[in-house]
Chain A
Amino acid sequence: MSSGHEHNGGHHGDHGPRTLPASLAAPEILSAWRTRALIVFAVATVLSVFFAFTHEGKNHILRAYLLGYMICFTFAGGGLVLLMLQYVSGGKWGLLLRRPLEAMTRTIWLVGLMFVPIIFLWKHLYQWAAFPTAGAVAEALERHAVTLEQAMTLNAKRAMLNPTAVIIQTAIVFGILWLFQYLLNKWSLERDADPARGTEPSYDRWRIKFENLSGPGILIYVILLTVGAIDWIKSLDITWYSSIWGLQFLVAQGYAVLALGILTVILLSRFEPMKTMLRATEQHDLGKLAFAFVMLNIYLCFAEFLIIWSGNIPDEIPWYLNRIHGGWWVVCSADFICHWLIPFCLLLSRDLKRNKQKMIWLTCFMIFARCLDMFWLIEPNFPDSAGNLHIAGNIGMLAYITVPVAVLSFWAAYYMTQLQARPLISVNDPHVEEMLEPEHAH
C-alpha cells in the first residue's frame, strides 16, 4: 500500500460515499399531511365560530387572528431572510433547508392576502384606525375614549400611523418581499437546470449571483420588517416606544423559522430523498444554530426589559406593568420558561440535538412558545385586559387557542403544497457531494 495521506477510511465499504437518490421529488406523504392540516383547520374554525357569540368574543377572534397572521408572516418573511442568509453564509445546513425555506417564501402572497380582512376590521384593533383624523381624536378625548397622552401621541404619529399610510406601507412591504422571493425561487430552478451544472464556473456564477441579491436583500428586509412590526403589532399601544422592536422580531423569526425548518427536514427524513441527505452532523449544526437564536432572543428581550426597568419612566414602564400585574405574571413567567428556559436547557445537550424524535418535540414546542409570546405581546394592549388577566366572564379569550391553530394549519397546508412543487434538494451545489460523504463521530 502506498504511503502518504490518502482519504481516511476510503477503503471500507461501510464508509464510502452514499449515492444520491434517483428521485429527489418530495414524498407522497405530504398530500396526507396536507389533508390532516385541512381537517385541523376545519375543526378549529368551527370551534372559533362558537366564540363569536360570547362576550367580547368577536374582538378576541380578531386579535387572535392578528396573532395567527403575524406567526404566518414570521414563517414567510423569516423564511425569506434565512434563505438569503444561507446564500451569503454558505454551508451544508443551508443547502438542507433551502427548499423548505423557498416553500415558506412562496407563501408570501397568501400572507399578504391574510392581511386584507384586518384592514376592514382594524378600527377594533388600532386607535389610529378608530380615530384617523385630528377631529376624531379631539372628539374621542372629550368622551374619554382616549387619554390625553394617547390623543397627543396619535396626533404626533399620524404621518406614519394612519389608515392610508399603513395600507401603503403594508403594500410596499409585501411587494418588495414578493419580488425578492420571486427572483430567488426563479433563479434556484434555473440554477439546477444550468447546462453547465456540476462544474466550477457554474457553481461560482450562481453563488455570486445569489450573494449579490441576498446581501442587500437582508438589509432591506430588516428595514421592511421593522416597519411591519411597528404598524401591525407595536402600534396596538400607540404611546409606547422601543428602538429594539424590529430586531427583536427579526431574531424571533429566526427562532421560529429554524424550528419549523428543522421540524420539516426531520419529518421528511423518514422518506427519500431526505432520508439519505439528512445526516446527524447537519441536524446537530441546525440544533446549534437554533440554540444561538434561543440565546439571542432572550438577550434582546431581557435587554429591552432591563433598560425600561432601569429608566422607570411613565412613558414606558406601563407597557410592562400591564403585562405583569393582574395575573399576567403567570403568562409572563410561562413565556420566559417556554420561550427560553426549556429550549435553552434542552438544546445544551449534544445527544438531544442529534436525536430526531426529541428534536421533533422540541421544535413543535418552540413554535408554540412563539405563539405564547405573541399572545403576551398582543392581548394586554387592550383596556379590558391590560393588567387584568381574567377568563371568568371572558370565555372569548379562548379564541386565542382555536383561531391561531386554524390560521396556522391553513398556512401549513399551503406550505406543504409548495413543498411538493419542487425537488427537495438543489443539485447544482458543491455541498451535495459533501453531504453524501460518510459522517464522523464529531
Chain B
Amino acid sequence: MPPREGIYGLLAEFNTPSELVHATKEAHRAGYRRMECYTPYPVEEAAEALHFHKTRVPLVCLLGGLMGVTTAFLMETWVNVWAYPLNIAGRPLESWPAFIIPAYEWTILFAGFSACFGMIALNGLPQLYHPVFNAPNFRNGATTDKFFLCLEATDPMFSPAESRAFLEQFPAVSVVEVDH
C-alpha cells in the first residue's frame, strides 16, 4: 500500500482545558464530528464535549466472561464424564456443584483478559505511527501542559481554509496543518 498523502487535519493548541472544551463544543455545534482532543491528563468535560460516552469494552468483557464460563464448564464435563470418569463418594459423574468454582474463576479470568486486551484493541493500539506527531508543538506539549483539538480532514465539513478560520476565532496558541 502506498503511503497516504495530503492533510490529516488541523491541530489547534490551547493553554487551558476550558478553552479546549469550549472550542470542542463550538466545533460540535458547527457540525464537525471527525475530531479528537489530546490532553496531558484525563479531562472528562472534553469527552463530554466530543459526545464520546459509549464504548464497546463492556460488551467485549461480557462476551469474554460467557466464553470463560462455557469453556470451563464444558471442559470439566468432558474430563469428568468421558475422559477420566471417577466415582467420588457415589456422586453422579456430572456433579455440577463441584464445577461451579472453577467455572466462576474462568469467567473472571476471561472477562478480565477481554476487558484489558479488548480496551487496548478498541483504542487502536498498538499503533506505531500517528500523523499528529508530525506537529512539533504536539510532540513537545501534548504530554506536559498543552491541550489540543484536531479537526480531521475526513470530516465532510472540513475545508482547509474555512476550518482554519473557524479554529482561529478561539484564543488558540496556534493552528497548524498536520500532514499524513
Chain B 29-72 per-residue mask, 1 if CB under 8 angstroms from chain A, else 0 = 00000000000000111011000010000100010000000000
State A5–B14 Cα separation when bound (angstroms).
12
B18 with A6: CB separation less than 8 A:
yes
> Which A residues, 135 to 171, have Cβ-Cβ distances below 8 Å to chain B?
none
A309 within 8 Å of B (CB atoms): yes
Chain A 3-28 per-residue mask, 1 if CB under 8 angstroms from chain B, else 0 = 11110111110010000000000000
What's the least CB distance linking B128 to chain A, in Å? 29
State A3–B18 Cα separation when bound (angstroms).
11
B contact patch SS:
helix
A-side contacts of B19, CB under 8 Å: 1
- Nearest B residue to A441 via CB reads B48
A306 within 8 Å of B (CB atoms): yes
A4 with B16: CB separation less than 8 A:
yes
B98 with A310: CB separation less than 8 A:
yes
A-side contacts of B100, CB under 8 Å: 302, 306
B interface residues, how many (CB within 8 angstroms): 22
A305 within 8 Å of B (CB atoms): yes
Among B44, B62, B89, B171, point to the contact of A442 (Cβ < 8 A): B44
A contact patch SS:
loop
What's the least CB distance linking B56 to chain A, in Å? 13
B97 within 8 Å of A (CB atoms): yes
B143 within 8 Å of A (CB atoms): no
A interface residues, how many (CB within 8 angstroms): 22
B15 with A3: CB separation less than 8 A:
yes
State A350–B145 Cα separation when bound (angstroms).
33
Known contacts A306-B97, A306-B100, A310-B98; A1/B16 CB under 8 A:
yes
B17 within 8 Å of A (CB atoms): yes
A305 with B43: CB separation less than 8 A:
no
A-side contacts of B15, CB under 8 Å: 1, 3
A-side contacts of B43, CB under 8 Å: 8
A348 within 8 Å of B (CB atoms): yes
- Nearest A residue to B52 via CB reads A441
B-side contacts of A9, CB under 8 Å: 17-18, 21, 45
- Nearest A residue to B61 via CB reads A348
B-side contacts of A205, CB under 8 Å: none
B18 with A8: CB separation less than 8 A:
yes
B-side contacts of A5, CB under 8 Å: 16-17
A186 within 8 Å of B (CB atoms): no
State A10–B101 Cα separation when bound (angstroms).
50
Known contacts A348-B62, A350-B58; A440/B48 CB under 8 A:
yes
Most buried by A among B16, B62, B97: B16
Among A15, A348, A350, A441, point to the contact of B47 (Cβ < 8 A): A441
Excluding A3-B15, A440-B45, 4 further A-B contacts by CB distance (< 8 Å) are A3-B145, A306-B100, A309-B97, A350-B58
| Nearest 6 Cβ contacts at the A-B interface | A440-B44, A441-B48, A3-B15, A9-B45, A8-B17, A309-B97
Residues of B near any A CB (own CB < 8 A): 15-19, 21-22, 43-45, 47-48, 53, 58, 62, 89, 97-98, 100-101, 145, 171
